[in-house]
Amino acid sequence: MFKRTHTCGEITAALERQIVTINGWVDRVRNLGGVLFVTIRDRYGKIQVLFRPEDGSLFSEAASLHGEDVVAVTGEIAKRPEGAIKEEMGGAVEIIAQRLEVLSKAITPPFYIHLESDVNEELRLAYRYLDLRRQRMQKNIMLRHQVVQTVRAYFNARRFLEIETPILTKSTPEGARDFLVPSRLKQGKFYALPQSPQLFKQLLMVSGFDRYYQIARCFRDEDFRADRQPEFTQIDYEMSFVDQRDIMDITEGVLKAVFESVLGIAIETPFTVLSYTAAMDTYGTDKPDLRYGLSFCDVTDHFKDSGFEPIRQAIQNGGVLKGFKVAGAAPRYSRKMLEEIENLAKKAGAKGLLHAKAVKETDSTGTLTLKTNFDRHLSAFEGENLMKAFSLEDRDICFLISGERKTVNVALGVLRGEIAKRESLIPKDIFRFLWVVDFPMFSYSEEERRFVAEHHPFTMPYLSDLESYKDTDPTKIRAHAYDVVLNGWEIGGGSLRIHSREVQKTVFDLLGIDEAGQKSKFGFLLDAFQYGVPPHAGCAMGLDRLVAILAGEEFIRDVIPFPKTTSGICQMTGAPSDVENEQLEKLSLKFIKDAR
Please give the DSSP secondary-structure letter assigned to residue 111.
S
Contact 409/401 with Cβ under 8 angstroms? no
Contact 416/283 with Cβ under 8 angstroms? yes
Count Cβ atoms below 10 Å from residue 228 Cβ, excluding itself.
16
Structural domains of the chain sorted by starting position, each given as residue range(s) with its CATH number in brackets: 8-104 (2.40.50.140), 292-422 (3.30.1360.30)
Q: How many CA atoms lie within 13 A of 28 on its CB side?
A: 12
pLDDT over 50 (residue 218): yes
Among residues 492, 455, 493, 494, the alpha carbon closest in space to that of 477 is found at: 455
Residues 428-468: tens digit of each pLDDT:
889 999 999 999 999 999 888 899 999 889 999 999 999 99
d(CA 144, CA 68): 25
Pairing of strands 231-240, 536-542: antiparallel
d(CA 50, CA 29): 10
Residues 476-530: tens digit of each pLDDT:
999 999 999 999 999 999 999 999 999 999 999 999 999 998 998 899 999 999 9
Q: State the pLDDT at residue 475.
A: 95
Residues 256-288: tens digit of each pLDDT:
999 999 999 999 999 999 999 999 999 999 999
Contact 428/487 with Cβ under 8 angstroms? no
d(CA 543, CA 557): 12
Cα 492 from chain centre: 9
Q: How many CA atoms lie within 13 A of 381 on its CB side?
A: 7
Contact 566/224 with Cβ under 8 angstroms? yes
Q: State the pLDDT at residue 364.
A: 61
* Residues 572-591 as b or e (16 or more Cβ within 10 Å = b): beeeeeeeeeeeeeeeeeee
At 429 the three-state DSSP class reads coil
Alpha helices in 288-334 (DSSP H): 309-316
Cα 584 from chain centre: 37
Residues 354-413: tens digit of each pLDDT:
999 999 877 666 688 899 999 889 998 899 999 999 999 999 999 999 999 999 999 999
Binned at pLDDT 50, 70 and 90, residue 596 comes out as: very low
pTM for this model (two decimals): 0.92
Q: State the pLDDT at residue 184.
A: 92
Query: What value, to the nearest 5°, has the Cα angle with vertex 28 and ends 26 and 32?
Result: 125
Q: What is the mean pLDDT of the chain?
A: 93
How large is the C-alpha radius of gyration of the chain?
31
d(CA 298, CA 402): 10
pLDDT over 60 (residue 119): yes
Q: Please report which helix (H) or strand (E) contains residue 385, including its range.
A: helix 380-390
C-alpha distance from residue 100 to each of 75, 107, 333, 336 (Å): 9, 19, 65, 66
Residues forming beta bridges with residue 96, ordered by sequence position = 50, 76
d(CA 356, CA 384): 12
d(CA 592, CA 473): 44
Contact 9/15 with Cβ under 8 angstroms? no
Residues 185-210: tens digit of each pLDDT:
999 899 999 999 999 999 999 999 99
